Chain A
Amino acid sequence: MIESIELAKCTGCGICDVVCPADVIHMEPLPATEELPGLYKVTSLPVIKFREHCITCFSCEIFCPEGIVDVHPSVKNRPRPW
């Protein structure tokens, strides 16, 4: 399951969002300043929006050009054994 994206090093390229086959990561605009709500930064950054639906395919980690996505090989999201 996806753990984190090191946003300080993120260039906002959006590849992690594009390659995700489970709609987990969304590129979203960030507020530019606290003084003026509604004003956003030019570059959007990835948000882990639906972590619980991550299928642990590692696509975001494999294709991130900056190597800043961390997917943990947790399997807790798998169907439970019967």
Chain B
Amino acid sequence: MARFEGELIDTDVLVIGAGAGGLLAALSAKRHGPPGTRVTLVDSWLIGRTGHTAFSNAWTIVVLPDDDLDGILHEIVAGNDGIADQELVRQSLMDSHARLKDFEAMGMTFARDEHGAYKRRPTRGLDLARVMYPEGGGLEFAWKLRRALEAEGVQLIDRMFVTGLMRGGSDRVVGAVGINSRTGAFHVLRARSTIVATNAITFRSGFVRDITGTGTLLAYRAGASLRNAEFSYVRPGTPKFYFEGITFAIQEGAQWVNAKGEPFMQAYEPEWGDEADVPRIARAMAMEQRKGNAPLYLDMSAIPEHLRDYFIQSKVRWMDNFFRKLGDEAKTDMFGKTPYYALNQMTKMGIRTGADCRSDVPGLLSSGLAQAGCANHFAGFHIGLCVGNGWIAGRSAIEDLDRLSQPRLDQGEVQALFAETMAPLQPSAAAESDRILRDLQAVMFAYDTGVLKREDRLRQAYERVTALSDSFKTIAAPHTHELVRMKETEAMLLAAQFILGASLYRTESRLSHFREDHDARDDDNWLVWVDIAEGGNGPAFTKTPIPTPYCSVTLPRRRPSRLAARQSIGGV
């Protein structure tokens, strides 16, 4: 066992995770705090060049003064089948215009037309909401925010992998401990307020496999409750190449077809057809596959020639490089029929907070997708909500500073966290966490577990995950690189248990949670959040009714196809 040794960093507000939710939380805390307020932002890798935000197009919902705020709120709530914190979503939408102005003041450019109006477009699964993106996409978005934080005096610490939250022998959180993700050096980050913004867990799948979402599980261990685990789902992706932009491809004429070349979305989603949101597409694909109609394809051949370069020369710089190297053949494939499989687990489990982003544990707040504000985020609402709840979390953290006493370290706790962090290190060991992760993916990504659920299969999956967790206890890490991956895998194993447990608990079907043995939505009994808290002998699942202060959780059914009403992307 390594001898205890570490460095202490003291701050007022500690933000963990530097995607949109963390970047905005740090900015908000700095701006809301009195002069001299210390705000520290840490991330496992380079702030501004890591996380889902940086590798996305950074499409974001912005509600302009003339937009229908209440209508947009209603369609988001209905699109979540009611699983949304209406207060939080409304506040985020209301603040979005002010944030847009902040972003422009940082030097971001959002395209406008010849009349000076912002170029915006609709997004999949929503009618009224409009999305826009900054020039340069996520890499510019995240980097300009980094620069702005530096200029405003926020302390940025790159390569800080947080391994535990501290309670300081009290009923609150007093900061975190972590290691330098390269050197393994141990750090104690003492803070009066701590904001966890570490995204959700993706089981290292999809196109941004550095999103591991460990912070939510650390919050759970520190006494916070989690929620929305059962709405995690497996979404389709193509094994042939990366493609960021399905939403807009569909709006321009792409459609889902089965092995026989038949379009199938309309049969499952009469209202939205191919323009249904991702959880509903995933479910339709799982059912179509079960009928024996796989492989399933995204057929992009109907996309007009003059728009094809738009999809290649995207705002996402890595995608441009990607297709340039693949050559013409890939382009032909892409605009022909591309097979799609279950590839990407979208975990929706986040930390339970109020609309103020405070968790149940004093001193612990949450933002970004680590916060359980919604269970369905649409394209553009992922970042839209992260921007919104980041701003709220930063403000709440500052308000808390006066209420929370000076944080004290608990010597025994810090030493125990150090020992727990370093315990797996064994220089002679083989790196084996990838093997366990692959087995975990195989359990969680199966359509019969991740999309079409039934009690007996969920229980079988639970047993397999339990066996993998037992197997995990026997492995060790030869170096820091593997130590970080092991900690992430450990969190994923715990997340898998929560996802399966919550899926068993909710005996109805709603949104991306589809139980074949309880296939109807039941608003009388299940318009609730399923909360997960440590119950002494493992996780305890409880219901919390969802308040509906602003709107109902349904919208009148509408038809017909929305494609005709879409404007062309032409230059947007």
| Chain A positions near chain B (C-beta within 8 angstroms) | 18-23, 26, 49-50, 52-53, 55-59, 61-63, 71-73, 75, 78-82
Contacts and interface: CB of A to CB of B under 8 A. Distances in A.
A21 B218 CA distance: 21
Interface residues of B, number: 43
Contacts of A18: 46, 158
B445 A82 contact: yes
Interface in B443-486: 445-447, 481, 484-485
Interface in B482-511: 484-485
Contact of B484 (A23, A63, A79, A81): A23
A57 B53 CA distance: 13
Given A19-B46, A55-B210, A78-B343, A71 B481 contact: no
Nearest to A17: B182
Which residue, of A52, A53, A71, A81, has the highest number of chain B Cβ atoms within 10 A?
A81
A59 to B, nearest CB: 6
B158 to A, nearest CB: 8
B147 interface: no
Interface of B: 45-46, 49-51, 54-55, 139, 158, 181-182, 205, 207-210, 237, 239-242, 317-318, 321-323, 325-326, 330, 341-344, 434, 438, 441-442, 445-447, 481, 484-485
A75 B445 contact: no
B447 A21 contact: no
Contacts of A61: 321
Given A49-B481, A82-B447, A22 B321 contact: no
Contacts of A53: 481, 485
B566 to A, nearest CB: 30
A57 B205 contact: no
Contacts of A72: 325
Nearest to A71: B321
A22 B210 contact: yes
24 contacts: A21-B50, A23-B181, A52-B434, A53-B481, A53-B485, A55-B209, A56-B318, A58-B317, A58-B321, A62-B317, A62-B321, A71-B321, A71-B325, A73-B241, A73-B321, A73-B322, A73-B325, A75-B239, A75-B240, A75-B242, A79-B344, A79-B445, A82-B341, A82-B342
Contact of B55 (A26, A57, A75, A80): A57
A46 to B, nearest CB: 13
A53 B45 CA distance: 14
Contacts of B242: 56, 73, 75
A16 B72 CA distance: 42
Given A58-B322, A61-B321, 13 more contacts: A18-B46, A19-B49, A20-B45, A21-B49, A23-B45, A23-B182, A56-B322, A58-B317, A58-B321, A62-B318, A73-B323, A75-B240, A81-B343
The 7 closest A-B pairs by CB, nearest first: A81-B341, A58-B318, A21-B50, A21-B210, A21-B45, A55-B209, A73-B322
B241 A75 contact: yes
Given A81-B343, A82-B342, A23 B445 contact: no
Contact of A50 (B441, B442, B481): B481
A78 B446 CA distance: 15
B393 to A, nearest CB: 23
B46, B442, B445: most-surrounded residue (chain A CB, <10 A): B46
A82 B450 CA distance: 12
Contacts of B209: 22, 55
Contacts of B322: 56, 58, 73
A23 B208 contact: no
A26 B479 CA distance: 13
Contacts of B330: 73
Nearest to B321: A58
Nearest to A20: B45
Nearest to A78: B239
A50 B481 CA distance: 9
Given A71-B321, A72-B325, A75-B242, A21 B343 contact: no
Contacts of B237: 78
B143 to A, nearest CB: 10
A61 B209 CA distance: 18
- Identify the interface centre among A21, A50, A53, A63: most chain B CB within 10 Å of its CB: A21
